Amino acid sequence: MRDNQRRFGSPTDLGIRLIILVLVALLLMALQQTGRLGTLEGAVSLVLSPGQQGLSSLTDRVVQAVGTLSNFQNMQERNTELENINRSLLAENLRLQEIERENQRLRELLSFSETRPGIELRGGQIIARVIGRDSNNFLNFVMVDLGSRQGIEVGMPVMNNEGLVGRVSEVTNTSSKILLITDPLSTVNAILQSSRLTGVVNGVVGDNPVMGFIPQGTLVGVGEVVLSSGMGGNFPKGIPIGQVIEVRQRDFEVFQEAVVRPIVDFGRLEVVLIVTNFDPLEFVPGLDGIPVEQAP
């Protein structure tokens, strides 16, 4: 009994509450009859409106924040996708640029003899790619990716679109070693383009080749172009070798010398042209596997 009184109040309290509810109901009915209920509703709405507007604004901000977060995630995913596409396109562009550079080098090699009618080449050229180099800093030889299976033989001349590279010194089934004109074992019969003086270009360890056995009596000019002379049958005639950068002349010596800067940049050598139908007429020590000291 006492628990029910604590829960619902005393009979007096219940009566008071009932009377208040009846009065409120009568008041609302009277306001409705007089048309003033709308005014009360407006007043209540005016009191509650800021809270409702605040709640509505907060809801809008939450919805907007959720939408912004979703858009940001979509933008991140799209940005990642575009970055991947960009990297792929960049890689493809670099690959195509490299292919175009190689194609240009090949075109220059193939048109080498056509653009230099003075060079004695009669077909039989094959293009090889450099696959190895001398282990020291002197760059005396390079390895190419063609060998006896492709018809490569010892002694065949080698050049690129710039000029004379050297000649084949060793051959395996699938690769060949090219002795460069900078190697001390290399000798090339040469001619000066302007003065028409002849001599022999020899490689020098760690330095530019030297053209020796140039007859005295005619002044050799710095800047003269050195070409292969074709004498001795080692190389075709007219292939550019280099340019004279220094002349060594002594009156009491029979011959004068000229330091030759090679026209070929051996440090950037990538593809070469091997002349396969040229038969060397002169034996050169150091080729065919016979050391120089054992040659007759």
What residues contact residue 14 under an 8 Å CB cut-off, 6+ apart?
8
Q: How far apart are CA 8 and CA 3, in angstroms?
A: 9
pLDDT, residue 210, reads 96
Taking Cα atoms as reference points, which of 284, 153, 204, 166 lies closest to residue 292? 284
Query: Is the residue at 72 inside a domain?
Result: no
Q: Please state the domain count of the chain.
A: 1
| SS3 assignment, position 127 | strand
Residues of the chain with pLDDT below 70 are 1-11, 13-14, 17-18, 21-63, 65-67, 92, 94-96, 98-124, 135-139, 279-296
Give the DSSP per-residue string, 249-263.
--TTSSEEEEEEEES
**Is the residue at 230 inside a domain?**
yes
Q: Are strands 271-275 and 240-248 parallel, antiparallel or unpaired?
A: unpaired
Q: pLDDT for 171-209, tens place per residue?
A: 999 999 999 999 999 999 999 999 999 999 999 988 999
Query: What's the confidence (pLDDT) of residue 206?
Result: 85
What is the phi/psi pair of residue 166, to 5°?
160, -145
Buried b (16+ CB within 10 A) or exposed e, 23-47: eeeeeeeeeeeeeeeeeeeeeeeee
Parallel, antiparallel or unpaired: strands 176-180 and 164-171: antiparallel
DSSP symbol at 221: P
**Which domain CATH number covers 277?**
2.40.10.340
Angle between helices 37-110 and 11-34 (to 10 degrees): 80
Whether pTM > 0.85 for this model: the answer is no
Query: pLDDT at position 295, please?
Result: 32
Is position 175 within any domain?
yes
- Residue 151 domain flag: yes
Query: Is 172 a domain residue?
Result: yes
Say if 107 falls within a structural domain: no
Residues of the domain holding 173: 125-282
Read off the pLDDT of residues 98-111 as tens digits, 9 standing for 90 and up. Answer: 666 666 666 666 66
